[in-house]
A and B are shown apart, each in its own frame.
Chain A
């Protein structure tokens, strides 16, 4: 470590522990003095802090926000004993198989349980009919003819692979005994028992490499794309060369082509936690920041320009774009009053905050209302336009139109993170970043319960009518329509996620 070699009193590992905040206060103080006196150590600290951020980003890209807290610890604590147990079991299994047949490890042996119109192509390119009970070894390929089917199982465990008609796959060799399949084309259903972290099953196609983590999934491979549909567990999808990683969870599907891997979309009809997914599609809007539903279509604003986009609520196709007046700034949040769009602006000419009514036909601003504070959320319901804003420690809501009665206290509703909200079923609904959608009584500000929208992410949302909500995934450029559960959880708004 070049930065610490000059100091005889600093152990090499201490600087790493220092930036990780793992030293005692006395050690930390002493080392701080050393660092202050030694530019090389200061440089080393800079590089270690830089590496910390990069590692955090890499890990974060591997885990979507849903699994960030808690899961990683669970994975560790369960994975170690599991890995140990699996290693012992696999070791025993491999040993027995080796003694019995002189072949490879048990985990890499596939045995056909059901085979109709399927052929095996061995290493010498010899084709022969695949019979039930036949074993496949690494290097063997399998072809399933039209109206044929093949189901096989990994010896010694509850892991199955079912190949549909016109499927071509190859069993890949893996020196460490892990499961490896290459699917050229066709359909595949895979159910794999939990595997040790070091030897997770990997299914490769011409467009993607899928790492399975105790998973059930379906795979559809054609000449130009691979579609992965996850039924249970999680799957890491990367390009065949290991580039770009996307993690798909149960209820999600991902499409990979030779050029890119799409974001994970929720499957219509999937039940995820408390909510049911009704629809999910991408939106052709650059850096979308806000969404509102006008009864037939979605309106979205963009952080990258001053445009509003009208998008078909079924297909996701762009219907229309309107350009906002330059003096109005960008619409950070939107509301729909039945005729006009309302947009809130953090900043306008003269450093003022306010909301504007926008004619959806022309984009003209037909009315402006200045507000004393920056509005961070807008909602329209029961003939009133509601605004949410920060005041001191808490988030507050007030009516903007008609103006709030000065005699009436503002409603305190929770921490500033509850900045996205909508009006539905006579209540205001406030979304806390990444976790809960909270029902708030507009009269008293009291919370009436909440439901968990995780893992839909910390995005924007709009009321969809009839107990549904649109969630905008800002980074994934797509929207999801969800149906809320009938039963809400009791929550304390003061508790942070």
Chain B
């Protein structure tokens, strides 16, 4: 495969593979290592790629091997449900991870997090920044597990609504 074409395909699929790796290991730094390793292997083995095959599926299959190797080596637990791992190509569609839309949305999301209520922001930060499980958050906030579960869900939905509204505003402004 032409190197330019190969580079472009890797770039197009990079974030979807990162999302898969992050779903597996729940550690962004480690997920980035997995992606880097995946891309290196893909580069070395690019002659083995069939032109008509799904490039994303090929990368994910390499990423899965890299993750299995790391998991075995470090005795880690898989952090994604088995179904997600087995159906990675259905779940991590490259279309959802286009660079331009991603960056725009990410900026809006940053603002939306600040707009969350105090407890919701604490739950989100504790889970994503502090890597805390729901039960740990419930203990720390002296609340029940169900409360955290419902609150987490509502916070995530609120973020989605806020991001959608923010993007609509941006597009309206541009228009």
Q: Is A12 an interface residue (CB 8 A)?
A: yes
Q: Which of A16, A75, A458 contacts B156 (CB 8 A)?
A: A16
Shortest C-beta distance, A319 to chain B (Å), equals 30
CA distance A32 to B92 in the complex (A): 16
Cβ contact within 8 Å between A49 and B92: yes
A13-B149, A50-B96 in contact; A1/B157 too (CB < 8 A)? yes
Shortest C-beta distance, B143 to chain A (Å), equals 12
A56-B28, A75-B130 in contact; A45/B91 too (CB < 8 A)? yes
Cβ contact within 8 Å between B125 and A76: yes
A20-B134, A22-B149, A32-B82 in contact; A57/B28 too (CB < 8 A)? yes
CA distance A134 to B95 in the complex (A): 61
Interface of A is mostly: helix
Contact with A along B104-143 (1 / 0, CB 8 A): 0111011101000010001011111111111000001100
Contact with B along A1-16 (1 / 0, CB 8 A): 1000000000011011
CA distance A346 to B83 in the complex (A): 36
Interface of B is mostly: helix
Q: Is A468 an interface residue (CB 8 A)?
A: no
Cβ contact within 8 Å between A49 and B28: no
Q: Is A372 an interface residue (CB 8 A)?
A: no
Residue of B nearest to A79 (CB): B122
Mark out the residues of chain A between 70 and 102 whose CB falls within 8 Å of any chain B CB in the assembled complex. Answer: 72-73, 75-77, 80
B74 partner residues in chain A, CB cutoff 8 A: 496
Number of interface residues of A (CB under 8 A): 58
B124 partner residues in chain A, CB cutoff 8 A: 55
Cβ contact within 8 Å between A60 and B28: yes
B154 partner residues in chain A, CB cutoff 8 A: 13
Shortest C-beta distance, B38 to chain A (Å), equals 14
Q: Which of B29, B84, B131 contacts A45 (CB 8 A)?
A: B84
A369 partner residues in chain B, CB cutoff 8 A: none
Q: Is A68 an interface residue (CB 8 A)?
A: yes
Contact with A along B43-83 (1 / 0, CB 8 A): 11000000000000000000000000000011000011111
Cβ contact within 8 Å between B29 and A63: no
Contact with A along B133-175 (1 / 0, CB 8 A): 1100000110000000110111011011000000000000000
Q: Which of B73, B92, B122 contacts A76 (CB 8 A)?
A: B122
Q: Is B1 an interface residue (CB 8 A)?
A: no
Q: Which of B22, B73, B93, B140 contacts A52 (CB 8 A)?
A: B22
30 chain-A/chain-B pairs, Cβ below 8 angstroms: A1-B153, A1-B157, A12-B153, A16-B152, A16-B153, A17-B152, A21-B79, A21-B80, A22-B134, A32-B83, A35-B83, A36-B83, A36-B87, A45-B84, A46-B96, A49-B92, A50-B19, A51-B156, A58-B109, A58-B110, A62-B129, A72-B125, A72-B131, A73-B132, A75-B130, A76-B122, A76-B125, A76-B140, A198-B118, A417-B33
The 4 closest A-B pairs by CB, nearest first: A72-B130, A13-B153, A32-B83, A16-B153
